[in-house]
């Protein structure tokens, strides 16, 4: 019988991993997070947390500093449409602020996991022995490779870039600017700072969105990138290892739900461990992510075609109740 260092070893200290560690503590399980990057960890992200994700984060007793947004606006050169959230605002939050809040009181060790072994009732990685391992190591998960869970980067290959600018937020919504080459997400994250995340197949930048650059002041900090975004993963449970967040499979950032889904998955994975039924987590993951996978995939595939990209904003403007209903389903 090995000597256990902890009940749950979490690999990766992003939102999924930190939320998992906190849910573990709430379930009476000891947890430790292996995260090699220096705190506060930053990442390429639009930094808009949907109302449903915010509600999940609040179940962890977190208070978050950020700027509320009240819905999603789609804009292009000539038309725009707004969907207001029905059940309270979302929050624009810098990833570094989210990290500080989520990691408070969580035991984190500066370890990059490169290999893993497991037995019938134990798992060991980074020199730490645990009863269970939560893999939360992001899009290009090392743990997936270590345990032989198959994955591949799906098509279309899309990438994300993100930076911040000094600018007083000019909208109470997250604005999604559509162009021929991609989408730019403008999220207020502080009273004088907006983040812009650009998603595209061609690593498009601000010049692909006429009029946007004029609204931005001086750029703050560096540009961060991520991708390819779509990661198709064959399963979520491998022995005593459960995958949460982007490491469990990812479609695209188009609908801005990654953080919300990561927190919901973390809660489900820990609940299945606490109930002694880890196999249940695969079904829970399928349920939690079903609408996101269908709607986000549908939108990404449909808007590959220039004619559909051109039609998306005018069509949404012509059907505002349909647009609002879809946004509110994804926001829940």
Find the binding residues for ligand FAD in span 254-283 (CB under 6 A). Answer: 256-260, 262
* Number of shown-chain residues binding ligand FAD (CB under 6 A): 40
160 — alpha (psi -120 to 50), left (phi > 0) or beta? beta
Contact letters for ligand FAD, residues 135-174 (x by CB under 6 A): -xxx---x-----------------x-x------------
Structure letter (DSSP) for residue 255: T
Closest to ligand FAD by CB, 188 vs 258, is 258
Residue in 21, 32, 44, 270 binding ligand FAD, rule: CB under 6 A: 44
Closest to ligand FAD by CB, 170 vs 318, is 170
* Residue burial 30-39, b: 16+ Cβ < 10 Å; e: rest: bbbbbbeeee
Q: How far apart are CA 286 and CA 96, in angstroms?
A: 29
Closest to ligand FAD by CB, 31 vs 197, is 197
CB of 211 to ligand FAD, least distance (A): 21
Q: How far apart are CA 133 and CA 135, in angstroms?
A: 6
Q: Which stretch binds ligand FAD (CB under 6 A): 14-22, 64-72, 206-214, 313-321?
A: 14-22
CB of 126 to ligand FAD, least distance (A): 7
The residues, any chain, with a CB within 8 Å of residue 56's CB and separated by 6 or more, are 19, 260, 263, 264, 267
CB of 153 to ligand FAD, least distance (A): 13
The residues, any chain, with a CB within 8 Å of residue 73's CB and separated by 6 or more, are 80, 81, 82, 83, 171, 173, 174, 175, 176
> Can residue 131 be called a binding residue for ligand FAD (CB under 6 A)?
no
Closest to ligand FAD by CB, 244 vs 307, is 244
Find the binding residues for ligand FAD in span 104-123 (CB under 6 A). Answer: 112-113
> Can residue 184 be called a binding residue for ligand FAD (CB under 6 A)?
no
Q: Angle CA(59)–CA(61)–CA(65) in degrees, nearest 5?
A: 110
Tokens found for residue 169: 């937020």
Residue in 8, 17, 200, 326 binding ligand FAD, rule: CB under 6 A: 17
Find the binding residues for ligand FAD in span 208-227 (CB under 6 A). Answer: 226
Alpha helices in the chain (DSSP H): 15-26, 51-58, 95-103, 142-147, 258-274, 280-302, 306-318, 320-331
Place of tokens 């990661």: 231
> Can residue 94 be called a binding residue for ligand FAD (CB under 6 A)?
no
Q: How far apart are CA 13 and CA 9, in angstroms?
A: 11
Q: Which stretch binds ligand FAD (CB under 6 A): 45-53, 75-83, 147-155, 213-221?
A: 45-53
Residue in 5, 37, 153, 310 binding ligand FAD, rule: CB under 6 A: 37
Per CB under 6 A, residues contacting ligand FAD are 11-17, 34-37, 41, 43-49, 112-113, 136-138, 142, 160, 162, 197, 199, 226, 245-247, 253, 256-260, 262
């Amino acid at each position: 019988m090995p000597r256990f260092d902890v009940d749950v070893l979490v690999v990766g200290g992003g939102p999924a991993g930190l939320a998992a560690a906190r849910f573990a503590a709430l379930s009476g399980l000891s947890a430790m997070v292996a995260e090699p990057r220096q705190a506060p960890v930053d990442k390429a992200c639009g930094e808009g947390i949907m109302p449903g994700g915010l509600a999940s984060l609040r179940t962890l007793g977190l208070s978050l500093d950020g700027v509320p947004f009240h819905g999603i606006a789609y804009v292009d050169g000539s038309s725009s449409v707004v969907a207001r959230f029905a059940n309270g605002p979302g929050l624009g939050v810098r990833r570094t602020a989210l990290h500080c809040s989520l990691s408070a009181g969580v035991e984190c060790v500066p370890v990059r996991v490169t290999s893993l072994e497991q037995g019938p009732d134990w798992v060991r990685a980074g020199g730490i022995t645990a009863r269970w391992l939560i893999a939360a190591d992001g899009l290009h998960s090392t743990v997936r490779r270590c345990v032989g869970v198959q994955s591949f980067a799906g098509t279309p290959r899309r990438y994300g870039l993100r930076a911040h600018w000094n600018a007083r937020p000019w909208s109470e919504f997250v604005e999604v600017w559509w162009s021929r080459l991609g989408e730019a997400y403008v999220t207020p994250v502080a009273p004088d700072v907006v983040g812009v995340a650009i998603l595209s197949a061609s690593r498009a930048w601000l010049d692909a969105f006429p009029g946007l650059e004029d609204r931005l002041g001086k750029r703050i900090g560096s540009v961060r990138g991520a991708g390819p975004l779509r990661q198709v993963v064959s399963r979520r449970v491998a022995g005593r290892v459960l995958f949460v967040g982007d490491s469990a499979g990812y479609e695209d950032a188009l609908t801005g739900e990654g953080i919300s889904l990561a927190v919901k998955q973390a809660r489900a994975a820990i609940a299945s461990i606490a109930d002694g039924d880890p196999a249940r987590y695969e079904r829970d993951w399928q349920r939690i992510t079903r609408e996101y996978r269908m709607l986000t995939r549908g939108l990404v595939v449909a808007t590959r075609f220039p004619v559909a990209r051109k039609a998306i904003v005018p069509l949404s403007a012509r059907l505002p109740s349909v647009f609002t209903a879809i946004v509110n389903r994804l926001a829940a």
